Chains A and B, each alone.
Chain A
Amino acid sequence: MSGVTSGRELRVGIMSFAHVHAATYARLLARWPGVEVRAADPGAASAPADESRGRELAASLGVGYADSYEELLAWKPDAVIVASENARHRSLVEAAAAAGAAVLCEKPLATTHEDALAMQSACDGAGVTLMTAYPVRFSPAFVRLREIVTAGGVGELLGATGTNNGQIPVGERAWFTDPELSGGGALVDHIVHVADLIDSLTGLRPLTVHAATNRILHADKSQVRAETGGLVTVGYEGGFILTIDCSWSQPDSAPNWGGLTLHVVGSTGIAEIDPFAHHVGGFTELGPSGLHLSYGVDTDELLLAAFLDGARRGHQPQPDGQAGIRTLAIVLAAQESARTGLVVDVV
């Protein structure tokens, strides 16, 4: 893997605006020093009319636009962010890799094990790096937690509980509730972040997964066709245990999207993080409900910084494609467990 000659602008391509995070990345990159950004979003043509996509969205975000992926890749980007629908990552990652770009792929890396392996293989074959977009890894709270745990601050690790509860992602992008495109419901949406934090924190191999799901939350929303609530329990080598509440249980009326927490139990102590806790709270009579004014560190920005640095220097950034593959394996096992009622071995 070769780096980019210092001094010249780094070319960053964004493939698809299907995922809402694409706009977040584009907005950050548009004002990033030393970076030139172009996006392509050919899927805009078939997207629902009320969704802001394509050239119009690129213009509002202040980034360049190409009419097709071919045109975007012919521009020879050094780095490419893939933000298509979850089930449509593979072909774009393969194309970006073939064009020689370092790749950052939105989470989940894929919706099937086969696709995830093929994406990693394509990047390896082309000599480019693959990074999975797990921004919570960059949360200062998690970085501190890892330092504490690594230094033996809570003793030997026994188990953990995590929550990743959010508002149901309907409205902004219709495909989120189409299992064919999203890969499922709350399981595929909200297992990966907590699972990745544990992967990074412990390095332990997951062995078994049990998942129980239901569709009681948002049962009144006709467009929802997958589980809205889930409890996922993972058994790791050495007896470490983890349960994740991945439910879309943040009410629509809540003033913030939701959050993520991790509670780690060790033999000599307990450590907890709430990476999205930083906010000023309050009330207003000018809006519908309470105020929740976040001021935490922007982890998306830190994620992009790691990705761009890797692309510039030709280094593999973390979390890499393998991290994405390992966490996807837990998601797929959880989906199988929820379907069969059985405890499933992780592939």
Chain B
Amino acid sequence: MKPSPLAVGLIGAGGITQAHVPAWIELGAQVTVFSHAGAAELAAEYGVSSVESLEDLLESCDIVDICTPTPTHRGYAEAALLAGKHIICEKPIALTRADADAVSALAEKVGRQAYPAHVVRFFPEYARAKSAVADGQIGTPAISRFSRVGEYPRWSAWFGDDRQSGGIVMDQMIHDLDIARWISGEVTDVYAVKSASAVGPAVTAQVILTHEGGALSYVSGVWGAPGTTFVTSFSIAGSHGVLRHDSRTDASIRLDGGTREKVGGTRPDISLGESPYLTQLREFANACAGGEPPRVSLDDGARAVELAEAANESIATGASVSVARRTAGIAA
């Protein structure tokens, strides 16, 4: 008997769904979309279904994929878990560690799986670096740098509102905060600075992480002027070697004039390999179907939120923040 197709309920119709919907289709999933706006258009674009209410969406699926603005994540996550669904939630999974932990606790209580979409762990250059470090190819990580440069997000107004997105640290740099922790381990202290209030729409921030055992990481984020080329880079210096990557110099195709087709540009170019979004959703779907746990857990997502929160606190106070003390203080 042919197994019934994976049924996915996708909430939201914004930018990231343009990466998720094709990936779900590639995985053979039956996709249903619910959104306050744009659901019918998104569904029509990809030939999938849309529904008018959250209730109808929850009726239609086994896995809920939450692709909405950050402040709404917890509400949708709890509704989906209470309806017995597994969930996949865009990063950051919440604006506070407390909200993230609440989702985590509920998932455990209802016995459903929940995963954060920290897609950078599925970009092959980061996965390759992680495995090289894990295999001991550069010894013990000592000093790592991660940089992410892109244009100021103007495609949806809520990104620019720090109260909704958490600002550049919570929305953009959280990717590399997660990667830094993935590679160099748990973080004890966070120090961060951010440029003065946006001049035009442009902002940059720098976060220093001290890991257990003494390794240091440095995450730099830029939301730059309109048209800024999307560039990521990293350098991981260990006791016995260095790993380096730069999305510009390591591109496998470059184009100079000749056609209007854009090679590279303001978004990550993922066109020359399997989409990391596809890799990610496959791994999550397999786990939900009883397979291996994926490379990132909801707790990892919560810890990334915690690091971003600590960084934002450091920016606000001008002092270094002890992660453990901060978390204990909140729990008390």
- Which chain B residues lie closer than 8 Å to A161 at the CB level? 147, 206, 220
Taken together as a complex, chains A and B put the C-alpha atoms of A53 and B237 apart, in Å, by 34
* Chain A residues whose CB sits within 8 angstroms of the CB of B241 once the complex forms: 251
Q: Is the C-beta of A240 less than 8 angstroms from some C-beta in chain B?
A: yes
- CB under 8 Å from chain B, chain A span 201-238: 208, 210, 212-220, 228-231, 233, 235, 238
B11 contacts the other chain (Cβ, under 8 Å)? no
> Contact between A343 and B191 (Cβ–Cβ < 8 Å)?
yes
Q: Is the CB of B225 within 8 A of A267?
A: yes
B38 to chain A, nearest CB (A): 32
Q: Are A270 and B193 in contact (CB under 8 A)?
A: no
Answer yes or no: B20 CB below 8 A from chain A CBs.
no
A169 at the interface (CB under 8 A from B): no
Binds A, one of B138-146, B158-166, B263-271, B297-305: B138-146
**A245: interface (CB < 8 Å):** yes
Q: Are A239 and B237 in contact (CB under 8 A)?
A: no
- Quick one: given A217-B237, A229-B142, are A243 and B196 in contact (CB under 8 Å)? no
Q: Is the CB of B225 within 8 A of A268?
A: yes
Tell me the minimal C-beta distance from B257 to chain A in angstroms: 21
Q: Is the CB of B191 within 8 A of A247?
A: no
Neighbour of A158 across the interface among B141, B202, B214, B228, CB < 8 A = B202
Chain B residues contacting A243 (CB-CB under 8 Å) are: 193, 206, 208, 218, 220
Interface residue A143 (Cβ < 8 Å from any Cβ of B): no
Cβ-based interface call for A341 (8 A): yes
Q: Does A152 interact with chain B (Cβ within 8 Å)?
A: no
Say whether A77 faces chain B, with CB atoms less than 8 Å apart: no
CB neighbours (8 Å) of B210 from chain A are 212
Q: Please indicate the chain A residues that have their CB under 8 angstroms from the CB of B189 in the complex.
A: 212, 341
Residues of A within 8 A of B216 (CB): 212-214, 229-231
Q: Taking the nearest CB of chain B, how far is it from the CB of A188, in angstroms?
A: 17
Among B195, B200, B318, point to the contact of A159 (Cβ < 8 A).
Answer: B195
Chain A residues closer than 8 Å to B240, beta-carbon distance: 251
178-213 of chain B: CB within 8 A of chain A: 189, 191, 193-197, 199-200, 202-206, 208, 210
Q: Are B202 and A267 in contact (CB under 8 A)?
A: yes
The count of chain A contact residues (Cβ–Cβ below 8 Å) is 45
Chain A residues lying within 8 Å of B235, measured Cβ to Cβ, are 163, 249
A28 within 8 A of B: no
- On chain A, the residues within 8 Å of B191 by CB distance are 210, 212, 233, 343
Q: Which residues of B contact A240 (CB under 8 A)?
A: 195-196
| Cross-interface CB contact of B143 among A233, A245, A251, cutoff 8 Å | A245
Query: Is B12 positioned at the interface, with any CB of A under 8 Å from its CB?
Result: no
B-contact bits for A256-290, CB 8 A (1 contact / 0 none): 00000001011111100000000000000000000
- Kindly name the residue among B220, B237, B240, B241 whose own CB sees the greatest number of chain A CB atoms within 10 A: B237
CB distance B204 to A217 under 8 Å? no
CB of B149 within 8 A of chain A?
yes
Tell yes or no: A155 within 8 A of B by CB: yes
Q: How far is the CB of B69 from chain A (nearest CB, A)?
A: 26
CB of A231 within 8 A of CB of B199, answer: no
Which residues of the other chain, B, contact A214 by a CB distance below 8 angstroms?
142-143, 214-216
User: A97 CA to B240 CA in the complex, in Å?
Assistant: 46
Task: Provide 8 A-B residue pairs closer than 8 Å at the C-beta atoms, listed in order of the A residue.
Answer: A155-B202, A156-B199, A208-B318, A212-B189, A216-B140, A243-B220, A247-B237, A342-B319
Binding site for A on B (CB under 8 A): 140-143, 145, 147, 149, 189, 191, 193-197, 199-200, 202-206, 208, 210, 214-216, 218, 220, 222, 224-225, 228, 235, 237-242, 318-320
A-B pairs with lowest CB-CB distance, top 3: A239-B196, A249-B237, A216-B142
